[in-house]
Amino acid sequence: MANNGAVRLDLDGKPIKPLTICMIGAGGFIGSHLCEKLLNETPHKVLALDVYNDKIKHLLEPDTSEWAERIQFHRINIKHDSRLEGLVKMADLTINLAAICTPADYNTRPLDTIYSNFIDALPVVKYCSENNKRLIHFSTCEVYGKTIGSFLPKDHPLRQDPDFYVLKEDTSPCIFGSIEKQRWSYACAKQLIERLVYAEGAENGLEFTIVRPFNWIGPRMDFIPGIDGPSEGVPRVLACFSNNLLRREPLKLVDGGESQRTFIYIKDAIEAVLLMIENPERANGHIFNVGNPNNEVTVRQLAEMMTKVYSKVSGETAIESPTIDVSSKEFYGEGYDDSDKRIPDMTIINRQLGWNPKTSLWDLLESTLTYQHRTYAEAVKKATSKPVAS
């Protein structure tokens, strides 16, 4: 367990002082895994802020006495809660995970998307800066937008040149679509809050680290529509495909599933975050890509792989036509646009924190789909066998 008497050392061999961490969005997918890691492996305390706590309920039970002193849940919506500044002041470090980060919402709820990701994050940055508190701000790989290579002709040889598609924190431009493509409302809001955090560092000395996640995958990710989330919602690609597999429906490939993505296992990614938390001298002032460039696939290849993995973990044979093509307009509505490739450069995080991801795509899919099957298969069967009222 965490407090076994051994002194924890940072990457430079210095003892790590126990911290109090104010975690905004602690009840979400990433927050729940980060809370688990902090409580299991470190002596740090967590002030867990969120509107919901379903994903961290197991950490808040009174009988988990070894943790009871080290985690406090505060039911807070950061939009309008006067307690927020007090909690930031109580902590040594604030981690802001709160966001609307579901592509289906960028088109249909662009105002909520912009307010949630920019306006609602402003007070957090302000309180950290005014009270000299360190901030780890979670951004997104979407801030890169489209690659330079995507503007070249389809058969142009430079499209295969890493200089034209690998995304680097310190040199890659942020290229978005036109204003009427509202899909970029999220990326634009996220880029602007990054610029604000960076400016607070430059002008007012804010100690900050910015994290750009590249498709973090694992148990408790997103929701399964109609089971533990809204029945009309469209979660991100992995949960979308999981939902189709659980219901024995074809996996929908938007615009042929040609977009390329990289996927990283949540437990690998959380290792990187813990290194940032415990090595401020190496992490402050930096923006870090956190992804796994070795796990690169097209969305079509992902669908094929998930179909195979799910057959293995569930013992069910795949349906006859496992995938179906749909247009982005049909799936997401008017105004959708996409980035072609998202491949992170890992030079900076490797140099500063010595971190590299470990888990292969097959293994992370097996772990995630085993969890999805165990958690949801029975509930989905019940939901789909209910007679529909006429």
Strands 216-217 and 296-298: unpaired
Residues 6+ apart with CB under 8 A from 128: 88, 94, 134, 135, 200, 206, 208
> Torsion angle, CA of 155/296/286/97, rounded to 10 degrees?
120
Of these residues, 186, 332, 336, 376, which one is catalytic? 186
DSSP assignment letter at 298:
E
CA dist 341 and 146 (Å) reads 7
- Rounded to whole angstroms, how far apart are CA atoms 180 and 155? 28
Q: How far apart are CA 125 and CA 120, in angstroms?
A: 10
Tell me which residue of 266, 251, 175, 260 sits closest to 218, measured CA to CA: 266
Neighbours of 10 (CB within 10 A): 15
> Active-site residue 186, yes or no?
yes
Q: Count of CB atoms within 10 A of residue 152's CB?
A: 14
**What does 229-292 look like in DSSP terms, one character per residue?**
B-TT----HHHHHHHHHHTT-PEEEEGGG--EEE-EEHHHHHHHHHHHHH-HHHHTTEEEEE--
Among 260, 289, 256, smallest CA distance to 355 is for: 289
Structure tokens at 88: 């930031």
CA distances from 63 to 33, 59, 153, 373 (A): 20, 9, 61, 28
- Using alpha carbons, list the distances in angstroms from residue 235 to 98, 226, 243, 244, 349: 16, 11, 9, 12, 29
Query: What does the alpha-carbon distance between residue 94 and residue 136 come to, in Å, rounded to a whole number?
Result: 6
Partners of 216 in the beta sheet?
264
Q: State the catalytic residues.
A: 186
